[in-house]
Amino acid sequence: MDGQANVSSIDALEAFRADLIGFLEKARVALEDAEGEVRRTRTWLDVDRSNHWTGQMKLRVKQLEQAEAEYYNARVTRPTESHASHKMAVARAQRRVEEAEEKLRVLKRWRMQFDNRATPLLRQLDPAFHLVGNHLPKGVHSLGESIKALQDYAGKAPAPKPAAPAAGGEGAEP
């Protein structure tokens, strides 16, 4: 051994480091998007749909009560007439209340199933979150340090940054 390493492509390491940083950013965004979608879906079920069907239930119960009151008033005020249209209105309102009750039952079942299905899947992402949050940034840092050490070893300093223009304007001498 002659004690000298043959370093030929530090640029390839720099390109790999840049690609790794790009991957790290894209992976972080993808993982956060996946977690965000789960949160948004849970909120949609818990808040949006729950509020909607609870409100529908109240509205439909009021409509049923109103239809029943109209049917009762029609029977009292006009006992000899047919009240088929009022009976149909009461039956329709009753079906709408039952539909809202069923939707609330289904919503409750969906919320339980969603948590039972989504939580284990999110837990499967924990290692990826750990990798993207801890290991890859350390790897990027370590790779950067290695690149600096190789540049120093090869006698090739990093490209200097362009100097800022002097405060005195163009042509001013130091």
**pLDDT tens, N- to C-terminus, the chain (174 residues):** 566 656 568 888 899 999 999 999 999 999 999 999 999 999 999 999 999 999 999 999 999 999 999 999 988 888 888 888 999 999 999 999 999 999 999 999 999 999 899 999 999 999 999 999 999 999 999 999 988 988 888 775 455 555 555 544 444 444
In CATH, which of 1.25.40, 1.10.287, 3.40.5, 2.30.30 is domain 11-154?
A: 1.10.287
Dihedral, CA of residue 66, residue 68, residue 71 and residue 75, to nearest 10: -130
**CA torsion through residues 96, 98, 104, 109, sign:** negative
Neighbours of 53 (CB within 10 A): 21
What global pTM score does this model have? 0.62
In whole angstroms, give the CA distance from residue 103 to residue 57: 9
SS3 83: coil
Q: Where are the domains of the chain?
A: 11-154
SS3 102: helix
